[in-house]
Amino acid sequence: MNRKYSLFITDICASILSFFAAYMMRNVGPFRLFLDEVQPLNVYMKALPFSISLLLLVFFFFGLYERQRRMKPFSELYLVIRATFLWALLLMSASYLSKYDYSRIIVLLYFFLSLLFLNFGRSFFRVIESSFYQNGKGIVRILIIGAGRMGRDLSRRLQEYESVGYKVIGFLDDYVSTKKNFPVIGTLKDARDVIHEHRIQEVYICDPSLSHDAILTLVSESSNQHVRFRVLSNVFDLVSGSIDVARLESIPSLDVWKTQENWWVGVPKRIFDVLVAFLLLIVSIPLWVGIALFIFFEDGRPIILIQKRVGFLGRQFPLIKFRTMRKNTPKYADAPKRDNDPRITKVGKILRKTSLDELPQLINVLRDEMSMVGPRPEMPQKVAKYTDWQKKRLDAKPGITGLWQILGRKDIPLEENLEYDFYYINNQSPLLDITILLRTVPLVLSGKGAY
């Protein structure tokens, strides 16, 4: 059984024990003096599943079940206390809204006992884990690329976490040789073999001289080895602070590639896409009619432009757009680089400025060819020129909007757009999707970066 599910069971057991202890204390001893009667046990048993589910949900959002997150005892204690306080507030709110007069003493006892038993359970779990670590089991094996000052400082910091199962195996560096306590076990070209031979699980990239292309090529070559790549944020400043940054305690780093499964990718994201696309389609029907009439009266037919684009796993699909360039323009001509391009019609300028030419892609979303949020769908001839790491952007369905849209749109060169897409693919979440959609709206209204 993996660590996450073991913690699930530990917390569930602690919560159940806290509940029964609270009920017994209310009915035995000094607490019995406050009230003559209390509701039967089965009344509270009906609410127990909700209480435990709420606790697990709050702990999940506090990151207490992250597979790769291991904390020092005091840090975990602090986080558990914060999460339990929030859970208690939500539980009391739910009790009030239910209009049922649950015993306040039982609820308070349940809270305080939960604080005690949850932390006790996790401490017991930590003792068991430590015994496994001492026998070399469950260790997170770490490789650091770059044996310079930054890499050595990181290694010293990581040594503080040996008690929670982190172990630095060594360094890769093309120029620095082994120093005391800092073993260099190969050069950058040996990375793939070293990762395989030493069963590396996490790679920290601490070499500021490495280009983005070199880093992402390395990630691409090793992506089938179940390795998590992390780059110190001051080396690889891809995105603004609004995007989640992974932290090993106080070590700031950016996850570039994670092989762990993401619960959001798949059915949940598909349901989200269908609901949003269907709602927008219904609301925008009058716009469709008006846009079609304007295009027809200015430049005749066709109203719609259909192009082949490359989507999920390299599959081609017909992308649907309102036509914005004159009808004698070749279908696969290069996109305009300036807003006064003579190929663009008068109506087309407005549509491109407001991104209303993208509205028909809601149909692509409903047909499961695109997502509301994802990498930009590219033409086949451009995808044919991709390097191996650039092809990784095909691991997700293309989107109507994405990180490239909210962080600069067409003002950003194509190759940098790919890096933003690459980051998005490996960090998909409902919060990130909603944030991107909401931040797209003001950009579309302002027309920034679109032509």
Q: What are the domain boundaries of the chain?
A: 3-134, 140-257, 267-446
pLDDT at 112 over 90: yes
Greater model confidence, 249 or 40: 40
User: Helix H segments across 135-246?
Assistant: 149-159, 191-197, 212-221
Cα–Cα distance between 399 and 402 in angstroms, integer? 6
Element (H, E) at 145: strand 140-145
**Secondary structure letter of residue 305 according to DSSP:** E
User: Each residue of 194-216: pLDDT tens digit?
Assistant: 998 999 988 998 888 887 778 87
Greater model confidence, 283 or 409: 283
Greater model confidence, 342 or 28: 342
Q: Specify whether the CB–CB gap between 201 and 226 falls below 8 A.
A: yes
User: Helix H segments across 342-429?
Assistant: 346-354, 361-366, 380-383, 403-406, 414-425
**Secondary structure letter of residue 334 according to DSSP:** P
**Gap between the terminal Cα atoms of the chain:** 53
User: Each residue of 73-103: pLDDT tens digit?
Assistant: 888 888 899 999 999 999 888 877 776 667 7
Q: Specify whether the CB–CB gap between 173 and 194 falls below 8 A.
A: no
Cα–Cα distance between 373 and 368 in angstroms, integer? 13
pTM of the model: 0.61
Characterize the bridge pairing of strands 166-172 and 140-145.
parallel
Cα–Cα distance between 369 and 152 in angstroms, integer? 46
CATH 3.40.50.720 is the classification of domain 140-257: yes
Cα–Cα distance between 291 and 289 in angstroms, integer? 6
Cα–Cα distance between 414 and 369 in angstroms, integer? 22
pLDDT at 245: 36
Mean local confidence (pLDDT), 250-279: 76
With the CA atoms of 144, 148, 149 and 153 taken in that order, what torsion angle do they form, in degrees rounded to the nearest 10?
20
pLDDT at 235 over 70: no
Q: For residue 258, what are the contacts with CB-CB under 8 A and spacing of at least 6?
A: 228, 229, 426, 427
pLDDT at 243 over 70: no
